[in-house]
């Protein structure tokens, strides 16, 4: 009698040490979504959206890439990080600007607080801390320092 092989599937939980905040680098007030970013990223050759979460203008937190899968948001830091992107980050002339709405600020803080509790020891950074960019158009380390203490 022929034996049927048994397969066991499981997730390998990534060790998260960094939570990296990004901006979409879109003009202030333009109401893009995670689906828009997913489309942009796929057009660039990504297999999915690069971020794990997207914070919309109204404060809605949209899921992106599954957190069990490394992101595609910060070269050299994707394996051990969670990527969060807020919509905005540029003025109408496409110059860097902190365009976060009050709703985005509130939602982002709540999401970050949840993530540092879920991943003890993880630190919060801005994308600019790992790349020669202005993203996320504010100093995330300073702004969220108390969440990591």
Which residues are marked as active site?
22, 51, 127, 133, 135
Dihedral (Cα; 95, 147, 76, 68), 10-degree rounding: -110
Maximum alpha-carbon separation in the chain: 72
Backbone angles phi, psi at 42, to 5 degrees: -65, -35
Helix (H) or strand (E) holding 18: strand 18-23
HSE, CB side, 13 Å, CA atoms: give it for residue 142: 5
- Name residue 83's beta-bridge partners: 20
First-to-last C-alpha distance (Å) of the chain: 61
């Amino acid at each position: 009698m022929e034996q049927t092989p048994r397969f066991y599937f499981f997730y390998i939980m990534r060790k998260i040490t960094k939570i990296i905040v990004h901006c979409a680098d879109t003009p202030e007030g333009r109401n893009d979504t995670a689906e828009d970013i997913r489309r942009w990223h796929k057009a660039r050759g990504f297999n999915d959206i690069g971020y794990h979460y997207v914070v919309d203008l109204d404060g809605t937190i949209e899921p992106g890439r599954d957190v069990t899968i490394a992101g595609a948001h910060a070269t050299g830091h994707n394996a051990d990080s969670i990527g969060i992107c807020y919509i905005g980050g540029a003025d109408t002339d496409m110059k860097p600007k902190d365009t976060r709405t009050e709703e985005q600020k509130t939602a982002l803080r709540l999401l970050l607080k949840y993530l540092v509790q879920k991943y003890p020891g993880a630190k919060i950074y801005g994308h600019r801390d790992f790349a020669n960019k202005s993203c996320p158009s504010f100093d995330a380390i300073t702004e969220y320092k108390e969440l990591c203490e």
